[in-house]
């Protein structure tokens, strides 16, 4: 009886996880519910099967300490709702562990998930070109106010969605094509990647474009047969950017003009002001931060309307309400504002532990799928980046999905996996 219950729990959890890429685009509240339900089912599975080997991992230790620091910081701030939210924050770590040790060890389930990712990526590309050509997407929306394409969505999230789905869903196919004898396979792979880069240029969201180019650069270093094709893609992509003032002036303004302006006067840019505000908060509360989601609650407080003299940022125009947002747009700053320098250090330790496990024993040409999930996992933890909040969807879901997937195919982690049904 116990085994049948566990089997049904696994089937339910797997059925919830497979459509997650779609939910993270169209149904954020259900995606949050899925992560919570899967975390609860995984803990229940542990009690039923006494499968707790997954706890003996360095990343679990780092995650547990980080979780504890955020709870402690929330207790110090004395906000009851922050304590509850901090306590529930651990469900993301349990979800990652569930993917690694329970749901995704089986190759067949991973193959289905990869096809879903690939299908979603194709859907996003098609939606972007439809909106670019006809001016409206399937919902009747035009470009966003800043010029970004929406694709088949109603908010400017298609860039991050395409980056998160195309690299694990389509790039492995391109790598396999490049390994065929003759030139035909490499030409097809190059055409596929060029289409993705040009789509990203039209989307006009800087960070997803930079991350995709970074992923291509890593692939080029590790997969020699695709290297010449990627060089051609980058050159043609640069040509696309050069032609964008004529073909897509809004994209050119955001990708080039706006970017140069932000870099020239970073402290006065919206991102610079967020960085300054977060830095002031961490400087004022270095040991415990401001508790769970403290940045959002404390950002309008004039006590933090200051510059950062230790970085040469003077007092004055860098303070005020214009420097406010719901989050600091960076995972590491987010952790620092919630739990101080200890939380930031523990998050760095967590990222290192995860990436060491994920990259151990990778042979790029032998397993392109594993290579690509490892690359995406590396890029999402890249510290010099502008991110959505890790406390909400879709960022929490995308990061948890790719991290759990990458861990599930790691030989280091596989020794701790519970393989359902001997799959």
The encoded tokens of residue 90 equal: 């651990």
The encoded tokens of residue 28 equal: 């954020």
Whole-model pTM: value is 0.94
Q: What is the pLDDT of residue 414?
A: 58
Pick the closest to residue 292 from 39, 80, 33 (CA basis). Answer: 80
d(CA 371, CA 349): 22
Report whether 17 contacts 52 (CB < 8 A). Answer: no
- Residues of the chain under the 70 pLDDT cut: 312, 314-323, 412-423
d(CA 267, CA 276): 8
- Per-residue pLDDT tens digits for 307-338: 887 776 766 655 556 668 889 999 999 999 99
d(CA 295, CA 281): 8
Q: With left for phi above 0 and alpha for psi between -120 and 50, is residue 96 left, alpha or beta?
A: alpha
Report CA-CA distances (Å) from 157 to 135, 147, 212, 277, 304. Answer: 17, 13, 15, 25, 30
Mapped to the 3 state alphabet, what secondary structure does the chain carry?
CHHHHHHHHHHHHHHHHCCHHHHHHHCHHHHHHHHHHHHHHHHHHHHHHCCCHHHCCHHHHHHHHHHHHHHHHHHHHCCHHHHHHHHHCCHHHHHHHHHHHHHCCCHHHHHHHHHHHHHHHHHHHHHHHHHHHHCCCCCCCCCCCCCCCCCCCCCCCHHHHHHHHHHHHCHHHHHHHHCCCCCHHHHHHHHHHHHHHHHHHHHCCHHHHHHHHHHHHHHHHHCHHHHHHHHHHHHHHHHHHHHHHHHCHHHHHHHHHHHHHHHHCHHHCHHHHHHHHHHHHHHHCCCCCCCCCHHHHHCCCHHHCCCEHHHCECCCCCCCHHHCCCCCCCHHHHHHHHHHHHHHHHHHHHHHHHHHHHHCCCCCCCCHHHHHHHHHHHHHCCCCCCCCCCCCCCHHHHHHHHHHHHHHCCHHHHCCCCCHHHC
Per DSSP, what are the bridge partners of residue 313? Answer: 308
d(CA 106, CA 301): 50
Q: What is the pLDDT of residue 418?
A: 58
The encoded tokens of residue 301 equal: 């407080």
Pick the closest to residue 411 from 359, 372, 355, 364 (CA basis). Answer: 359
């Amino acid at each position: 009886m116990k085994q049948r219950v566990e089997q049904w729990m696994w089937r339910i959890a797997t059925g919830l996880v497979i459509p997650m890429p779609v939910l993270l685009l169209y149904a954020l509240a259900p995606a949050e519910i899925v992560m919570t339900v899967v975390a609860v089912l995984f803990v229940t599975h542990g009690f039923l099967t006494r499968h707790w080997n997954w706890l003996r991992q360095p990343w679990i230790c780092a995650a547990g300490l980080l979780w504890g620091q955020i709870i402690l910081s929330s207790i110090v701030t004395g906000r009851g709702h922050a304590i509850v939210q901090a306590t529930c924050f651990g469900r993301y770590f349990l979800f990652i562990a569930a993917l690694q040790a329970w749901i995704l060890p089986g190759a067949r389930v991973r193959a289905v998930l990869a096809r879903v990712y690939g299908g979603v990526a194709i859907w996003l590309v098609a939606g972007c070109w439809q909106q670019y050509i006809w001016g409206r997407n399937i919902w009747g929306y035009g470009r966003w106010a800043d010029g970004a394409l929406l694709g088949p969505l109603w908010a400017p999230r298609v860039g991050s969605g395409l980056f998160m789905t195309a690299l694990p869903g389509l790039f492995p196919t391109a790598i396999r094509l490049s390994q065929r004898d003759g030139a035909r396979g490499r030409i097809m792979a190059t055409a596929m990647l060029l289409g993705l880069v040009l789509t990203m240029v039209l989307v006009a969201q800087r960070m997803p474009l930079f991350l995709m180019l970074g992923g291509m650069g890593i692939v080029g270093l590790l997969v020699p047969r695709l290297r010449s094709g990627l060089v051609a893609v980058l050159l043609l992509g640069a040509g696309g950017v050069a032609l964008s003032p004529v073909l897509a002036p809004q994209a050119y303004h955001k990708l080039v003009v706006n970017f140069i302006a932000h870099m020239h006067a970073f402290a006065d840019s919206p991102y610079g002001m967020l960085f300054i505000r977060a830095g002031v908060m961490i400087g004022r509360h270095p040991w415990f931060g401001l508790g769970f989601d403290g940045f959002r609650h404390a950002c309008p407080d004039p006590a933090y309307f200051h510059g950062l003299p230790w970085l040469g940022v003077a007092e004055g125009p860098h303070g005020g309400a214009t420097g406010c947002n719901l989050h600091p747009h960076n995972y590491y700053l987010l952790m620092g504002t919630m739990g101080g320098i200890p939380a930031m250090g523990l998050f760095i330790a967590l990222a290192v532990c995860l990436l060491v496990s994920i990259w151990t024993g990778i042979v790029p040409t032998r397993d392109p799928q594993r290579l690509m999930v490892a690359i995406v996992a590396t890029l999402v933890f890249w510290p010099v980046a502008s991110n959505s909040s890790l406390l909400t969807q879709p960022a929490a879901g995308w990061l948890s999905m790719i991290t759990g997937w990458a861990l599930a195919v790691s030989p280091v982690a596989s020794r701790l996996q519970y393989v359902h049904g001997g799959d």
